[in-house]
Each structure stands twice: as C-alpha cells, then as structure tokens.
C-alpha cells in the first residue's frame, strides 16, 4: 500500500475538475440505471411498440403531430388505472420508453436527449407524474410484496420491478425539467415553475414529495421493505431537494437577498468564484519517497566529493571550485541547496507546496533534505498570479469583545461587558487594533437570527407571533421534524453500507437489491461486469447521500440557524464524524481515480450504438478519464459536511483530535484539486493548536498552505495554541446547552398549544356568565341527572368556604 501511495503521489497531476450541483446531464441520466438493467431497455421498447402500432398504424412517434402525441399519452394514462398488475406494468414501461427518448427512432445520443426532453414535458403536461405518484404510494403500501421480500434469503432485481420502473420515470421527469436550456419553449418555463412549486408544497397527502421518499428510506433501513431500490430512491430524493430548494448558486443569491433584508453589508466576495479561481498545491511526500530521494542525494554527494578531490589534485586547484550561495526563501524554482543542513532549512515556498514535510516517525530515518522535485509549472505561471490572499479577513463581534476584555483587564483592571465603543484608559495601539478589527467585522445571518430568537423568547407578548414565510425549506423542515432522527440515522446507515472501507457484516442492510440479477454470473467476464456494477452502485449511493446532506445543511442554515443545528446535532450523535473519517482512511487517490464504469453500457450510448464485444481487457482498462467525477464530488461534499459540523464547535473539534484525524486528512492533500485541498486545510486549521508543537514544526509546509488558502480570523491564535489547556472540554455541557436552545425554538415556533398560558383571562363575572356556551345536543336530556350527580348529591361545607374567605 505504501508503494501504491508513493506512485500515486509522484504521478498525481492537477485535476481539471469543476465543482457544481451535478455532473453533466448524460452522466446523471445514465447513473439511474444499473448495468444489470440493460436488457430492460429492449423490453420497454417492445411493450411500447406493441401498443403503439395498434394505435398509429405503422407511423412513427417522431412523425406524429403534437395533438396526436397528446391523444396517445391520454390513452396510456387511462390504461394506468386498470386493476391488472401486469397490464399496469406494461403501460408503465411504455411511458418509461417515451421518457427515455424513443431511442429506437433516434440516430445519435443528442437526438435521444432532445426527444426525451420533449416527451417529458408532454408527460408532465398530461398529468402522468400525479398518476405515477399514486401508483408509487400503492407499491409502498403493498404488504404482500414487503412480507415476501423479508422472507426471501436473497433479493434480486425481480423483486423491485414495478418500483424501479415508476422511480425511473419520475427521476427522468424531475432531472429533465429541472435543467434549464437556452432553447426552452415559453410554456416549458411555465411548466418548470409549476412543477417546482408542486414538488415543494404539501400537496401529496399533506406533505411534500421529498417526505414520501424519506419514508421509503426509513422503511428500507428498518428492514420492513428490503426490496426497495435504494439507489433510485436516493437519487430521486436528492434531485427533488435540489430542484425545489435550489442549488449552490441559488443559495448564494438567497444569501445576498437575506443580508439585504436584514440591512447587513454585502458579502466581501463570491465564495464560488474564489474557490474556482484557486489552484492546487503540491501534495506532501510520503516516507517512501523521501527515503528514495535521500538515497539519490547521497549518491549525488559522493560523486561531487570525488570530483572535488580530483580537482584539488590537478594543476589548478581553484579552477573548478563552486561558490556557496545562500538560498532565497522565495526562490522561484524552489531549488534546494544539497549542502544545506536541516537546521537552516526553514524557508517556505510561495506556492504553498507541501512536498518536503517529514512526519515525526520518519525523522530518524531521513537525515538530509531531499533534492528538489521537477518544477510543476513554468515560472511565467507563478508571475501571472494575482498577489494577496484569496479571502478577505473576518472578525466576529464576540472576538472584538474578547479582545477588549483582555485589554481592559490588563491595563485598567476591570471590564465593561459587551461594550465595544468605550476605549478610555487603553493605550493608543489598542485603539488602532480595535479600529482594524471593526473594519473587518462580519455579522452573519445566523447571528441576527439568534439575536432575534432571544428577543422573541424574552418578550413573547410584546413582540407577538413571528411571521414565517412558507418556503419549500420551511415546509420540508416542518414535515421532517417529528421523525428527523430516524431520517438522519437511515441516511448514515446507507452511507456506511456503501463506503468502500466498510466490511460486509451479516446484520448490515443489503443495498444491492436493485443491482444483483436473478441468476448469478457463471463466467469470469460476467463476474467482472457485475463487480464493476456493484462498485459503481455504491459510489452513486455515496454521491447521492453526501450531496443530499450538504444541501439540507446549507438550506436549513440559511432558513434558520437552529434548523441547521438540530440536523447537525442528530448527525453528530449518530457518529457522522467518525464515519466520514473512516471513509477517508483509505488510499484516496485510488478511490478518486477508480474506473468503475463501462462507457459502452452507459445510457444513452448503449441504446443507440451497436454493442461491441466486451472482453476482460476492455473492462480492466475502463475509461480514459483522469479521475472519477462522482467520487471526487462525493469527497468534497463529505469534507464540507465535516466542516459544517465542526465549525465554531469546540467539543466537536476535539472529536477530530481524539479520532486522530490529522494524518487521515493530510493524506487527502495528495489529491491535487484546489477545492478539496481547501476544505482539508480548513479542518486541519481548526485543530492545529491542539496537535502540539512537534506536529506544527514537522508540518510547516501544511501550515504555510493553510495561511495562503484559508480565510484569516485576525485574532485567531490557530497557529500557536497559547493557553489552550485553560479551556475545558465538556462535550455534554456544550451539546445540552445547544439542545436547550433548539427545543425552545421548536416549541415557540411550531408548538401551537404552548401559548395557552399567555392567553388573556376574563375576570368579570357578568361577562363570563353572559357568554354563550355551545352545549351538545344530548345535554338537555341528561341535564337533570347531571344536576343530581354534580350539585345536589355533593355536600357543600358553607362554613368552611366562608372561613377560607
């Protein structure tokens, strides 16, 4: 494994990867199908043609007029309502063939995508999605299929045929309508907005569509429905949330509008653009590389020493003597002086290269510094880079308060609480420091939301009820709240089962129900194909879950900070932090460059072109891509989730330290992709002060990269760790205090019965007796009995009543 890591880090080039909401449309459409589902493409075509020929009498679908196409879709819609299960399945397959782009009548992949888009908007306009939703609800409640699947020792594709067809059509509709293109028709734009509103509103049994899919996830993980095709459910759930709530660019726009509403200053920069303009640093060298480089350096020194002796014995003793030149710390080519010892070598490379770091365990082995690696870029690239740090520094209000508290205690002997304006008695340099801090003060939307929540808690009668906008995020949170912990635990169970570092256990959930064929492979070629399919299946599940969790966290945080905090806390309590670290505790370069795909079997290529003969060699070769887009996307998403869980949370940061995450994260720096390195460096930065001086001393290149790439907090003592032992680490106290604030928020905002004690009371006797009270119809018949039982038969102690008064 060390040899593999050495080779991968030595050969790792810059990855030309552009992060976004999703991959390209063709890749996203192909991932809904497993390779074992390939024979079903022909089945869908045959069922469609069988019905269509009797209706169109020899004509082709692409030659029909729009009115004729609508009439035929209406006929299919009527046929979906038959009671015969097999007939319904045939009609659903015909609809799936239309959504797949009537590929038998197309000559290229582009034609398939174009006709698929046309047909999907037609299907939505005719109400197919609502009909499919009713069928999906019926299949979910099919207790016979669930009990049959529970009793089966091995579940295969055949157990989920109806569900897979329905989910495939719905996924194609959501993914196709979600994407906006330049050549969209005007009515398509209207249909897109209507569909988006429909999916995000509680129109389906009083709950949004995403909640129905969450219910499928929990039902699968509780082992009550092991035949559910989880990959399709998760992909559809992710795309539904992405469509209804918006992607990362929409989030940025919503954040800008939210700051404007709160009268906050605009964002200092567009984070998406900054990250895209960053470039990757060179990865740190492994111990094996450094040993090899050390041996080469020794051989080089011996040859130079012999040449020097020979020159001293010649006629001109000083003819070949080389002058010793001190190396500049900002040398453009990062050349290393081979005669320089370890004590002198503290210079930092301006490009943030990490290749010369030596782990503490390697120090006894590696005595001399390694020779320079070949320059990765020509000097002109470095000269053209913009100067300065990529991020504007930020300071929180509480950081200024903390700085002034320390300064006042030091110079005048007392503090003034949260007063940041009074600077009487403080020396001039402190005035300048406070001025600089205030220039970079950043107030987040979350801080404003917390402040407003505190005011609402303190003055419920004065401020009245809060006006809550019914956004798709708010509707989804309200629906998820009663069973939020179950949803989070179910997603993490699936993530654990799909992680490449997980080992198969007998009690773990089976996520391969929609990839394993009825008959297991009997040849080596079939086994290789199935192995690739299974690995691809797991990668897609990781991709869907990581993207879904990140989207939920970001949208909930923007909607209200306490919605984000409750989801984060459920993730932490369900061991999400060690799970993500376990995921990265592998040869991450191998995972990112994995070739678990067979291009000729991907949709729509496999239905348009003739299938070449597959061989073991062609399967082993895989595609020619430099990296696997979905795996790199998943890694970045998981790192972003880990950052969101630990940011400004001391106890969770200490969990990173306790779980020894630093060497795991440092290995992830081998991936030469700027965005991934940024989030790794962020995670290393927050725990640097707790890793000890020896770690910081032996990882100075990483420290330099953190300085260059991660945003600065002006008075954050991240690089030195002074007085860190004085701060206690009480995980339970911090989480309990946070949970109390969350419960108060949920109670105030969503518990409709909690305002009963604040309702006004009428103390006027005449007013109370004069109120009309609605009595039930049967009360007049039992009135006399009630008087006898409750009034006349009860002895009243008048004397005692008078004495009390």
Q: What is the pLDDT of residues 726-782, one digit of tens each?
A: 456 677 888 999 999 999 999 999 987 655 555 667 778 778 778 887 877 777 777
**From residue 153, how far is each of 139, 226, 227, 506, 513 by CA, in Å?**
21, 11, 12, 12, 12
* pLDDT score at 270: 87
Say what angle helices 524-559 and 561-573 make with each other, to 10 degrees.
140
Q: With helix as H, strand as E and coil as C, how does 297-331 read?
A: HHHHHHHHHHHHHHHHHCCCCCCCCCCCCCCCCCC
Residue 265: DSSP 8-state: P
30 half-sphere exposure, CB direction, 13 A CA radius? 22
Between the CA atoms of 687, 689, 690 and 696, what dihedral angle is there, to the nearest 10 degrees? Answer: 100
Q: Are 515 and 537 within 8 A, CB to CB?
A: yes
User: What is the mean pLDDT of the segment spanning 430-457?
Assistant: 94
With 0-12 / 13-18 / 19 or more C-beta atoms within 10 angstroms meaning exposed / middle / buried, residue 142 is middle
Confidence of residue 519 (pLDDT cuts 50, 70, 90): confident
Q: Which of 13-22, 148-157, 220-229 has the lowest mean pLDDT?
A: 148-157
How far apart (Å, rounded) are the C-alpha atoms in residues 147 and 713? 57
How far apart (Å, rounded) are the C-alpha atoms in residues 104 and 43? 12
Q: What is the pLDDT of residues 150-177, one digit of tens each?
A: 888 788 888 889 999 999 999 999 999 9
Confidence of residue 465 (pLDDT cuts 50, 70, 90): confident
The count of other CB atoms within 10 Å of the CB of residue 224 is 14
* pLDDT score at 261: 94
Q: Are 230 and 220 within 8 A, CB to CB?
A: yes
pLDDT at 119 over 90: yes
Distance of CA 197 to the CA centre of its chain: 23
Q: What are the backbone angles phi and psi of residue 712, rounded to the nearest 5°? A: -95, 140
Q: What is the mean pLDDT of the chain?
A: 83
* pLDDT score at 747: 92
Q: Which of 243-252, 337-346, 347-356, 629-638 has the lowest mean pLDDT?
A: 337-346
pLDDT at 94 over 90: yes
How far apart (Å, rounded) are the C-alpha atoms in residues 54 and 22? 40
User: What is the mean pLDDT of the segment spanning 483-494?
Assistant: 96
pLDDT at 228 over 80: yes
User: What is the mean pLDDT of the segment spanning 97-101?
Assistant: 95
Which pair of structure tokens corresponds to residue 125? 């306009």
Q: Which of 94-103, 135-144, 195-204, 725-734 has the lowest mean pLDDT?
A: 725-734
User: What is the mean pLDDT of the segment spanning 96-101?
Assistant: 95
The sign one gets for the Cα dihedral 425, 427, 432, 437 is negative
User: What is the mean pLDDT of the segment spanning 246-255?
Assistant: 94
Q: Are 539 and 545 within 8 A, CB to CB?
A: no
* pLDDT score at 143: 82
How far apart (Å, rounded) are the C-alpha atoms in residues 564 and 559? 8
pLDDT at 580 over 80: yes
Which pair of structure tokens corresponds to residue 296? 């080469």
Rounded to 5 degrees, what angle do the CA atoms 248, 113, 607 make? 125
Confidence of residue 325 (pLDDT cuts 50, 70, 90): very low
Q: Dmax over Cα atoms in the chain, in whole Å?
A: 137
User: What is the mean pLDDT of the segment spanning 624-643?
Assistant: 93
Q: What is the pLDDT of residues 529-572, one digit of tens each?
A: 999 999 999 999 999 999 999 999 999 999 999 999 999 999 99
pLDDT at 800 over 80: no
| DSSP three-state, residue 438 | helix
Q: What is the pLDDT of residues 56-81, one digit of tens each?
A: 777 899 999 999 999 999 999 999 98
* pLDDT score at 277: 87
pLDDT at 401 over 60: yes
* pLDDT score at 779: 76
Rounded to 5 degrees, what angle do the CA atoms 420, 425, 430 make? 60
* pLDDT score at 501: 80
- Category of 147 on φ-ψ map: left (φ > 0), alpha (ψ -120 to 50) or beta: alpha
Q: With helix as H, strand as E and coil as C, how does 523-559 read?
A: CHHHHHHHHHHHHHHHHHHHHHHHHHHHHHHHHHHHH
DSSP string, 344-405: T-----TT---TT---GGGTTT--SPPPPPPPSS-HHHHHTSPPS-SS--BB-HHHHHHHHH
pLDDT at 43 over 70: yes
How far apart (Å, rounded) are the C-alpha atoms in residues 215 and 220? 9
How far apart (Å, rounded) are the C-alpha atoms in residues 394 and 405? 19
| DSSP three-state, residue 394 | strand
* pLDDT score at 298: 62
Q: What is the pLDDT of residues 335-380, one digit of tens each?
A: 333 333 333 333 333 344 554 454 443 333 333 344 444 444 333 3
* pLDDT score at 615: 81
Which pair of structure tokens corresponds to residue 708? 């260059």
pLDDT at 234 over 50: yes
């Amino acid at each position: 494994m060390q040899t593999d890591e050495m080779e991968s880090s030595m050969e790792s080039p810059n990855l030309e990867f552009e992060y976004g909401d999703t991959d390209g449309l063709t890749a996203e459409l192909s991932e809904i199908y497993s390779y074992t589902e390939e024979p079903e493409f022909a089945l869908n075509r045959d069922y469609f043609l069988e019905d269509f020929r009797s209706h169109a009498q020899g004509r082709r679908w692409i030659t029909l007029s729009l009115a004729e196409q609508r009439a035929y879709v209406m006929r299919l819609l009527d046929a979906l309502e038959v009671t015969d299960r097999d007939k319904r399945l045939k009609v659903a397959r015909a609809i799936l063939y239309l959504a797949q782009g009537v590929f038998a009548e197309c000559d290229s992949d582009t034609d398939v995508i174009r006709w698929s888009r046309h047909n999907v908007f037609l299907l939505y306009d005719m109400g197919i999605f609502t009909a499919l939703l009713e069928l999906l609800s019926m299949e979910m409640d099919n207790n016979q299929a669930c009990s049959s699947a529970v009793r089966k020792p091995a579940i295969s594709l055949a157990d989920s045929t109806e569900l897979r067809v329905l989910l495939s059509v719905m996924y194609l509709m959501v993914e196709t309508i979600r994407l906006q293109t330049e050549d969209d028709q005007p009515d398509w734009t209207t249909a897109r907005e209507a569909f988006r509103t429909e999916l995000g509103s509680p129109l389906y049994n009083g709950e949004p569509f995403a909640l129905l899919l969450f219910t499928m996830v929990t039902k699968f993980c509780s082992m009550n429905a092991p035949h559910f095709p989880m990959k399709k459910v998760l992909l559809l759930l992710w795309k539904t949330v992405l469509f209804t709530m918006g992607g990362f660019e929409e989030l940025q726009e919503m954040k800008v509008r939210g700051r404007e509403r709160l009268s906050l200053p605009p964002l200092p920069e567009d984070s998406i653009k900054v990250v895209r303009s960053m470039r990757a640093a060179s990865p740190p060298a492994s111990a094996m590389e450094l040993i090899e480089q050390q041996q080469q350096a020794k051989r080089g020194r011996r040859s130079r020493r012999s040449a020097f002796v020979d020159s001293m014995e010649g006629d001109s003793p000083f003819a070949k003597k080389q002058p010793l030149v001190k190396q500049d710390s900002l040398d453009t080519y990062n050349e290393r002086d081979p005669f320089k010892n370890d004590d002198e070598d503290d210079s930092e490379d301006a490009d943030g290269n990490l290749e010369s770091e030596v782990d503490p365990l390697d120090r006894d082995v590696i005595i001399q510094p390694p020779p320079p690696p070949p320059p990765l870029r020509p000097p002109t690239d470095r000269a053209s880079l913009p100067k300065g740090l990529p991020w504007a520094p930020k300071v929180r209000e509480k950081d200024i308060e903390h700085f002034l508290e320390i300064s006042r205690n030091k110079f005048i002997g007392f503090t003034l609480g949260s007063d940041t304006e009074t600077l009487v008695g403080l020396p001039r340099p402190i005035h300048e420091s406070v001025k600089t801090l205030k220039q970079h003060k950043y107030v987040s939307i979350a801080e404003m939301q917390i402040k407003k929540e505190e005011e609402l808690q303190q003055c419920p009668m004065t401020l009245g009820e809060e006006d809550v906008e019914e956004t798709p995020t708010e509707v989804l949170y309200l629906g998820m709240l009663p069973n939020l912990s179950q949803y989070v635990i179910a997603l993490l169970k699936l993530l654990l089962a799909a992680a490449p570092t997980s080992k198969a256990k007998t009690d773990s959930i089976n996520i391969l129900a929609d990839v394993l064929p009825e008959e297991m492979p009997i040849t080596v070629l079939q086994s290789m194909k199935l192995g690739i399919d299974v690995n691809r299946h797991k990668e897609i599940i990781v991709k869907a879950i990581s993207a879904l969790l990140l989207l939920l966290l970001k949208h909930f945080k923007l909607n209200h900070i306490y919605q984000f905090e409750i989801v984060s806390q459920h993730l932490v309590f369900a061991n999400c932090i060690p799970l993500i670290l376990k995921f990265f505790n592998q040869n991450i370069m191998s995972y990112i460059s994995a070739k678990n795909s067979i291009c000729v079997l991907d949709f729509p290529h496999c239905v348009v072109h003739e299938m070449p003969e597959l061989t073991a060699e062609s399967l082993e070769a895989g595609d020619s891509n430099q990296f696997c887009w979905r795996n790199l996307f998943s890694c970045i998403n998981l790192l972003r989730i880990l950052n969101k869980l630990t940011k400004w949370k001391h106890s969770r940061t200490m969990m990173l330290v306790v779980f020894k995450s630093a060497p795991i994260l440092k290995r992830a720096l081998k991936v030469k992709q700027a965005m991934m390195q940024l989030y790794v460096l962020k995670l290393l930065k927050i725990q640097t002060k707790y890793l000890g001086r020896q770690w910081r001393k032996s990882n100075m290149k990483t420290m330099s990269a953190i300085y260059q790439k991660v945003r600065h907090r002006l008075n954050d003592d991240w690089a030195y760790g002074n007085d860190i032992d004085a701060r206690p680490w009480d995980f339970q106290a911090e989480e309990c205090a946070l949970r109390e604030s969350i419960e108060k928020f949920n109670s105030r905002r969503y518990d409709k019965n909690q305002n009963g004690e604040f309702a006004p009371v009428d103390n006027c006797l005449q007013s109370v007796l004069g109120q009309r009270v609605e009595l039930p119809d049967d009360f007049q018949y039992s009135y006399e009995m009630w008087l006898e039982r409750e009034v006349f038969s009860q002895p009243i102690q008048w004397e005692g009543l008078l004495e009390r008064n």
